[in-house]
Amino acid sequence: MASVFTSPVSVSVWAPTNPRLQRTPSTSTSMSVSLASSDSQPPSEDLDPETTATGDRSRKDRRRVVRLAWEKLVRWSRSWRSKTKIDVLERTNKVVVLGGGSFGTAMAAHVADRKAQLEVHMLVRDPQVCRSINENNFNCKYLPKHKLPENVIATTDAKSALLGADYCLHSVPVQFTSSFLEDIADYVDPCLPFISLSKGLELNTLRMMSQIIPQALRNPRQPFVALSGPSFALELMNKLPTAMVAASRDKRLANATQQLLASSHLRISTSSDVTGVEIAGALKNVLAIAAGIVVGMNLGNNSMAALVAQGCSEIRWLATKMGAKPTTITGLSGTGDIMLTCFVNLSRNRMVGVRLGLGEKLDDILSSMNQVAEGVSTAGAVIALAQKYNVKMPVLTAVARIIDNELTPKKAVLELMSLPQVEEV
């Protein structure tokens, strides 16, 4: 490379730009050395003052445009906040949380922090967890290192927990929801809004939570909201910035949920696409298992990117066939939740996949976990839905076959890579 920079050709690049740098026969060698030592940059005296001034003005103009754009955004934000109603939180006196798992606990703590006078009752089934919350303000089984607000109260009595509640946050795992709600249906007010935190599909019936809850409560008009998005309980407890989507066919209820839950560290967007939000939230858990298998088998970053991209397409194909909006699948509750669940170690479903990829048996994995990985149960339901709507879903189908012990992860990879080379859709 040195011969390139010290050749006469390199001199001729700069010499014509300034009369003072014209070569003479006696100075060609020294000139080439001088140019080589200056990293092929023109001398400072060659900079045109007019060009320099123009460049400075251009930079200042760009900065001004950015500053004005930011100031406009801030003004819009302040104007919007000044119009935002907070009467929902002011009118709310009691919130009940069904389920004492990690996310239910985190949401209970979040709501309790919103207003000190608010009563937040957690209906739990484990007496030890109940005592731990009431006596020490800790959930000894889930999130044991995080102290809960004083206004979080635990109980095992459904009647007292639901009595007088203004809102219900439902965090019972999908596969147990129907039987759980049927047992307490007599204590549920028919107008009590249910905000579902659970993600998945019921295995035998293929029902979503928006279908399970009203049917289990024997009330087709039970107010319903699906709350979903990229949100780990641990980070919510640590008050790290988080964003979620509240989806309801009742716009006023979606807005009320937004007012109830939105805070300085939790953004709540609203949507009317309940199907899209629920299907994305359910299927991303199955895709996370596939992503974990890639990690466990050490297949590399290329395969991870290809697998998740294919999985996103499969979720979009099925969801839109079921009536979902494509923008929901590419938004916060779709792609946002998929990225978090597939790429971060805190994901239970991803960890199941990692261990499957390492060669562990599914029964051993599940027996060692103290929380539910919804993707394991949802996988079979997803394939049934795919058949119902005539959608090809090779990645998610492979996960279901691995879970059913009909295919090894290694064999699944070979079969997926042997699929026909087709046009991307």
Can you tell me which residue has the tokens 């760009």? 62
> What gap in Å lies between CA 275 and CA 278, rounded to an integer?
5
**How is residue 337 written in tokens?**
């939740």
> Would you call 284 a catalytic residue per the annotation?
yes
Answer yes or no: are the C-beta atoms of 398 and 407 closer than 8 Å: yes
> What gap in Å lies between CA 377 and CA 250, rounded to an integer?
29
Q: Which of 142, 222, 208, 218 is nearest to 175 (CA)?
A: 208
Active-site residue identified among 94, 251, 284, 325: 284
Answer yes or no: are the C-beta atoms of 291 and 350 closer than 8 Å: yes
Cα 55 off chain centre by: 42
> What gap in Å lies between CA 155 and CA 153, rounded to an integer?
7
| Residue 220: exposure state from Cβ atoms within 10 A (0-12, 13-18, ≥19) | exposed
Which positions are annotated as active-site residues?
A: 284
